[in-house]
Amino acid sequence: MAIISVTDQSAGQNAQNLSGLSDPSGANTPDAMGDRLGLLQEWVARTLGHRAWRIAPASNDASFRRYFRISQESASTGSPATLIVMDAPPDKEDCRPFIRVAQLFHAAGAHVPTVIAENLEQGFLLLSDLGDTTYLAALGNPDSHSAKPANDSADRLYRDAIAALISIQTSSRQGELPDYDRALLERELQLFPDWYIAKQLGLTLSAAQHTLLRQGFDAILDNNLAQPRVFVHRDYHCRNLMVCTQANPGVLDFQDAVHGPITYDLVSLLRDAYIAWPEERVIDWCVRYWETARKAALPVSGDFSEFYRDFEWMGAQRQIKVIGIFARLCHRDGKTAYLNDQPLVMAYLRRTCLRYRELAPLARLLDQIAPLEKSTGYTF
């Protein structure tokens, strides 16, 4: 990855070198990127009070946000050696939820980036750097979606992630975050027929198939909305957890946090769209979470089998949503790589639907609309 000195190249040249984040809206076209990169560089220089730093892409996500790593060339500046700059175009993204949730999660004891400086008008945040090693990089092979079987650190990393999650949940307070209500859960489910069935598969459901889908959705929502409610990160998985030598894990991408079902983040973590674990290991980690949550007086069921049922039904909602999101990212935003992750998520969903009688209508619909995917196998 080339490092670009702000004193060596113009903003337009930098935009070309820092591209690769294209989208059809025009927000990430070379001209737009060059304009924003120039503004970002000037803001960083004013904020740090010097130009003895270099900039390189750090990451991008499934939104319009971009992240850059600032490497300072002089230790005498008094600032950390590296920092992260978030570029969130204000007409596309709002930085305020990120700042608010960072405060809440930090107060809960989670290791989140420190907001060092902010420019809400231009959509820039200067953040502390939690490193560049995600849980996925440390644990998994993204091509095969399989965890490295000999990785002895997995248990420690997931224990840390569960402990951090419980810290966040025990700090929950009603009214601090948006409610993960039926309307929001329903909108997420609707991504599946709109983008996966209609756009990706090119299918139009019959009246009978619409009924099957509606029955499945209603059953899932009834379970989800009956669960106890806590703070929900909403994307608590291996790409948003950073391996840190102290206060592991670092937690990222929390700006969409809500107040919602208690099993949501746990199923995001353990039924991850990007890495698969054997089912016996998932159950073991679920038991550890459940035991620790009970000791922490979190409102989990006193019966583990009931808790695990809630975990799986919450997973069904998330998996339906994620399949739709991945289809939208491909067909609307041109991010085709996300389709590689769909089969694993579909495998999770099929397995859950086949386990529970109430979800049999949804299992039948999946057989009808995507019969070939049924044969995709994963080892759990």
- pLDDT 10s digits, 158-202: 999 999 999 999 999 999 999 999 999 999 999 999 999 999 999
* Contacts (Cβ under 8 Å, ≥6 apart) of 361: 211, 212, 215, 216
Superfamily the domain 135-375 falls into: Aminoglycoside phosphotransferase (APH), C-terminal lobe (3.90.1200.10)
Q: Residue 56, by phi and psi: left (phi above 0), alpha (psi -120 to 50) or beta?
A: beta
Helix 279-295 and helix 154-170: axis angle, to 10°?
40
pLDDT at 19 over 70: no
In this structure, of 11-20, 310-319, 333-342, the range with the lowest mean pLDDT score is 11-20
Q: What is the CATH number of domain 4-128?
A: 3.30.200.20
**Residue 212 and residue 6: Cα distance in Å, rounded?**
57
Spatial distance between the Cα atoms of 136 and 113, rounded to a whole number of angstroms: 19
Supply the mean pLDDT for the chain.
87
pLDDT value of position 149:
47
Residue 13 scores a pLDDT above 60: no
> Which pTM was predicted?
0.86
Query: What is the per-residue pLDDT for 64?
Result: 82
pLDDT for the residue numbered 147: 56
* pLDDT at residue 329 is higher than 90: yes
Using pLDDT thresholds of 50, 70 and 90, give the confidence band for residue 293. Answer: very high
Compute the distance between CA of residue 93 and CA of residue 63 in angstroms, rounded to an integer.
Answer: 8
| pLDDT tens digits, one per residue of 99-118 | 999 999 999 999 999 999 99
Exposed (0-12), middle (13-18) or buried (19+): which is 127, by Cβ within 10 Å?
Answer: buried
Report, as an integer, the average pLDDT of 257-286: 97
The full set of domain ranges for the chain reads 4-128, 135-375
For 30-85, what is each residue's pLDDT tens digit?
455 568 899 999 999 999 988 888 999 987 665 688 999 999 865 555 556 899 99
Q: What does 181-222 look like in DSSP terms, one character per residue? A: -HHHHHHHHHHIIIIIIIIIS-----HHHHHHHHHHHHHHHH
Q: How confident is the model at residue 27 (pLDDT cuts 50, 70, 90)?
A: very low
Q: How confident is the model at residue 148 (pLDDT cuts 50, 70, 90)?
A: low
DSSP 371: G
280 Cβ partners below 8 Å, 6+ apart? Answer: none
Least confident of 22-36, 217-231, 304-318: 22-36
User: What secondary structure letter does DSSP report for 246?
Assistant: S
